[in-house]
Amino acid sequence: MSFKDVLMPFTAWKNLFIEPVTIKKPDQIQGASRYRGFHKNEVDVCIGCGTCEEICQNAAIDMMPVEGIETKDGDSGLRPMIDYGRCCWCALCVDICTTNSLTLSNSFKWNSTDPDDFRFIPGVDEKYWNNDKLGYVKADGYDLNPVERVEMGELHPEERDRSFVEMVTGYSREQAQKEADRCVECGICTATCPAHMGIPAYIKAVREDDMEEGLRILYETNPLPEICGRICTHKCETVCAINHKGDPLSIRWLKRYIADQVPSDKYKEILGTDKIEGNGKKVAIIGAGPAGLSAAHYLALMGYSVKIYETLKGPGGMVRYGIPEYRMPYDQIDKDIDYILSLGVEVQYNTKVGEDIQLEELGKDYDAVFSATGLHLGRSTGIEGSDHDKVYQSIELLRKVTLEEEIDVAEKIVVIGGGNVAMDITRTLARLQNKKYGKVNVLTTCLESEEAMPADEEEVIEAREEKAVIDPGWGPQKIEIEDGKIKGLHVNKCLAIFDEEGRFNPKFDNDNKKFFEADMIVESIGQGMDISYTEKIKDQLEFGARGRIIVDKKSFQSKLPWLFVGGDIIEGPDVIHGIANGHKAAVGIDTYLKDK
């Protein structure tokens, strides 16, 4: 200790001449630009997936119904309510938010004498920080769950462009588990799926590598997993929560993965369907398509004796006769259907109801009838020249391909239509041309612009990879015929498809014209139904828009109590709706026959 030690402390007196550092008005301080303050939520962007609730370790978040927000496809209708008695502002809810709608503001002052005030729904309840520009948001490059899809292996365009071998190769176990890992288990997919499949549950089974459990979950709601795992229109993926910030889960491919892993001879053992006790009642089903097979499956499990009447010589309906083999291989269709038939379901092929057998007879012979005859008629554009015999319907051609009938494939083909069926026929014809001529010359055109085309994006990309030309946005005007031979198709630029009232009424730019050369034209602009078999009982049924039979939406029962109608002729064209209809109709028939 020295004299210095006595004097040194007095240097503290210099602070007398320094400005005070105390902040005079602390209530005016704002948090830093990344401050983790009070919650904000863009309610219109939020889909109520509940992932924030799931990750919150303090259980500070509850999903609540909110006035003015309706439950719909892709939106649970719920919004997060936050309890500031429990919240610790860790912002994991912001990081995991699938839509990036939940953020934090940089406000942190909130006084209230009522403890219940501190429970609020961000974005819905009026709060002064709702318009704060600053605050914590998830940084780019920081993700707590992978947002990129595991790529599905596909055959190279050159390997597939002249063959009908299945082009998608399927996931390996590692790939499937990695993809299944991305699921946040929100269940928005389940709500949207027409069949309400237990999607998060079977994805969990993939993660846990429990294929038997996965198969059981699939068969609870869908007896055609191999088919749906390949060609389902996957509305589930469209609404998938992850779709908002990355690629949606490959729900369809994961379903296919489960079904592919289990050999067909194990199905009965796994699903516990070795012995089914009959209940002595009989149900007839018209049409062995997805809806009919689905109804047959569930009815057979309930003990009904089921017989299907099918016009064509094989089962599967549009799945077999409308979808090309490179997308839906026949052996996989057979795997699903053989299992259903093994439950005791009978099928009588080559029998057309209305011609070979009458519907009223079925009504008398059976306790109930389920009709799912599908949309097997093509629609014509009706333009000049469309009655030429080289103008085909896509449905008709696709059926011929499956039946292995001869098709006179021309060298230059134009396809009219922008849906998935148009892509199917385009790619089928491209393959056939490639086989016959060694080159492809198919052009597909449609009214819709590239963005508005109803076909799946990947279908369009793959068709182009196979060297088909897709030129959307043109309206067909006239088929040029010279000396009885088709020369080509005149088209005008399409400006709008619907008029101001939303009706189909395309507008064309008559100055912007094109001519597509062709020897053969295929129309693929929609499908129609043939329900002439109902002719004799017509007055006992009710018909709605576009001649569709009106049925009860829950049981699919028509005005005639013994007649149930479903599938594409009610809610089509779509395989998963058909399966869902079949299931509901089976339950409806069961309820009806139990009460009887």
Partner 1 sequence: MLKFENDRSKYPEKNADGTNIIDLESGKFLKIWQGPIHPGMTGNMSLELIIQGDEIMECKTHVGYLHRGFEKLMERRRFIQCFPICVRIAVPEPDFNEYCLAATIEELAGIEVPDAAEWMRTLLLEMARLQSYLAWIGGQAGAFGMGIIGQWTIWARDLVLDRFEEISGGRIYHMHMPPGGVRSLLPYGFEGRMKDTLDKVSQIMVDVERVMFNNSVFKKRSVGLGYIDPLWVEEYGITGPNARGAGIPKDVRKDYPYLKYGELDFEVSLGTDSDAFTRADVRRRDILTTIDLIRQIVERVPKNGEFMAEVPNVLHWKIPKGETYIRSECTRGEYGYYTVTDGSGYPRRINVRGPSYTHAIALMERMAINLNISDTAGVMSSLHTYPPEVER
- Binding-residue pattern over the window 511 to 550 for partner 1, x denoting contact by CB under 8 A: ----------------------------------------
Q: Which is nearer to partner 1, 5 or 116 (CB)?
A: 5
Which window, 134-142, 344-352, 391-399, 464-472, contacts partner 1 (CB under 8 A)? 134-142
Task: Give the closest residue to 99 by CA, choosing from 37, 60, 38, 51.
Answer: 51
In angstroms, rounded to a whole number, what is the distance separating the alpha carbons of residues 447 and 427? 19
* 123 neighbors 97 (Cβ within 8 angstroms): no
Residues 4-43 that bind partner 1 (CB under 8 A): 4-6, 8-9, 11-12, 21, 31-36
> Counting Cβ atoms within 10 Å, is residue 519 exposed (0-12), middle (13-18) or buried (19+)?
middle
Q: Which is nearer to partner 1, 86 or 268 (CB)?
A: 86
User: Of 39, 79, 182, 335, which lies in the binding site for partner 1, with binding defined by CB under 8 A?
Assistant: 182
Q: Which is nearer to partner 1, 8 or 452 (CB)?
A: 8
User: Of 62, 143, 334, 519, which lies in the binding site for partner 1, with binding defined by CB under 8 A?
Assistant: 143
Which window, 92-100, 318-326, 395-403, 404-412, contacts partner 1 (CB under 8 A)? 92-100
Task: Give the closest residue to 72 by CA, choosing from 52, 48, 53, 96.
Answer: 48
Q: Which is nearer to partner 1, 133 or 156 (CB)?
A: 133
In angstroms, rounded to a whole number, what is the distance separating the alpha carbons of residues 477 and 493? 10
Q: Which is nearer to partner 1, 54 or 334 (CB)?
A: 54
Task: Give the closest residue to 549 by CA, choosing from 527, 534, 528.
Answer: 534
Q: How far is the CB of 193 from partner 1 (least distance, A)?
A: 21
User: Of 40, 79, 207, 583, which lies in the binding site for partner 1, with binding defined by CB under 8 A?
Assistant: 207
Q: Which is nearer to partner 1, 10 or 504 (CB)?
A: 10
Q: Helical H runs in 377-419?
A: 394-402
Q: Which is nearer to partner 1, 178 or 514 (CB)?
A: 178
Q: Which is nearer to partner 1, 95 or 367 (CB)?
A: 95
Strands 305-309 and 282-286: parallel
Which window, 49-57, 297-305, 340-348, 353-361, contacts partner 1 (CB under 8 A)? 49-57
Q: Could you tell me which residues come within 8 angstroms of residue 235 by beta carbon, excluding any fewer than 6 positions away? A: 73, 192, 193, 194, 576
CA torsion through residues 152, 154, 157, 160, sign: negative
Q: Directed axis angle between helix 211-221 and helix 251-261, to 10°?
A: 120
User: Of 185, 360, 396, 465, which lies in the binding site for partner 1, with binding defined by CB under 8 A?
Assistant: 185
Q: How far is the CB of 75 from partner 1 (least distance, A)?
A: 20
Q: How far is the CB of 241 from partner 1 (least distance, A)?
A: 12
Specify whether the backbone of 191 is left (phi greater than 0), alpha (psi in -120 to 50) or beta: alpha
* 206 neighbors 42 (Cβ within 8 angstroms): no
Residues 464-483 that bind partner 1 (CB under 8 A): none
Q: How far is CA 572 from the centre of its chain?
A: 13
Residues facing residue 482 across a β-bridge: 485
Q: Which is nearer to partner 1, 200 or 572 (CB)?
A: 200
Q: How many residues bind partner 1 (CB under 8 A)?
A: 43
In angstroms, rounded to a whole number, what is the distance separating the alpha carbons of residues 544 and 536? 18
User: Of 42, 83, 181, 471, which lies in the binding site for partner 1, with binding defined by CB under 8 A?
Assistant: 181
Q: Where on the chain is the footprint of partner 1 (CB under 8 A)? A: 1, 4-6, 8-9, 11-12, 21, 31-36, 51, 54-55, 57, 88-92, 95-96, 104, 135-136, 139, 141-146, 181-185, 204, 207
